A = this chain, B = another copy of it.
């Protein structure tokens, strides 16, 4: 069974509405993420109007997670403390029915990390955001369209696969998002920040498929606009924060490339 393609007419206005709600509701998003990505991720969340927190102390992470509207788990620094904090935070999210997002960074390069990611899958993330190599390591199958939708159905989650064209699917629907710019791959933590934005969007949008698509559209369109002003990856990283801060819903909807 092939999942039906989702139209631009559905997702572009949905993304615009999600962006408005981010600013109006200023959701708290708790992130357990690698130390390379923390500052940029916090700044991306602040730029779109969210309130980030980043604590990873096992003694207090449950309180932070429970007080947030969404949780993002990024495995980019897979150490003992962060693993323990991740377990606690995800349990707190589950107990409080909070949505959470998994970003299994580099699991293709570390077997223990891949094993932990598979364990976390059993705790029901709303969305898994990852690239092709990470999908192969997580799902044990090639990252073909049919495999993505099958995996999403089996695991009852949304897969958001980054690439030249991003693919988002919940098993029933599938969207291909062609926004973005090559400079995004030249700034560390761009993908990690996108995962945090997925969690933020899910905090203000019950439909995890629409939330994930909205996040990737927001970051992709902001990336294109920022690249127009940038002279390289340094000014690009600055410009994407400025652009996220000032992005209006009409521009977002007009530039959305959903195929």
Residues of A with Cβ closer than 8 Å to B? 34-40, 42-43, 46-47, 52-57, 59-60, 63-64, 67, 76-81, 106, 109-113, 185-189, 230-235, 237-246
Contact = CB atoms under 8 A, between A and B. Distances in A.
Chain A interface mostly = helix
Contacts of A113: 60
Contacts of A232: 47, 241-246
Nearest to A47: B233
A230 B42 CA distance: 19
Given A47-B186, A63-B111, A186-B47, A78 B52 contact: no
B238 A63 contact: no
Contacts of A43: 187-188, 233-234, 237
Q: How many copies does the complex hold?
A: 3
A63 B231 contact: no
Given A81-B79, A106-B53, A234-B237, A188 B60 contact: no
Given A39-B189, A63-B110, A242 B231 contact: yes
A8 B59 CA distance: 44
Nearest to A113: B60
Contacts of A77: 54-57
A78 B55 contact: yes
A55 B241 contact: no
The 3 closest A-B pairs by CB, nearest first: A234-B241, A232-B242, A42-B188
A244 B234 CA distance: 9
Contacts of A243: 232
10 contacts: A35-B54, A39-B188, A43-B233, A54-B76, A57-B77, A57-B80, A64-B110, A231-B242, A232-B242, A233-B245
A46 B110 contact: no
A60 B75 CA distance: 12
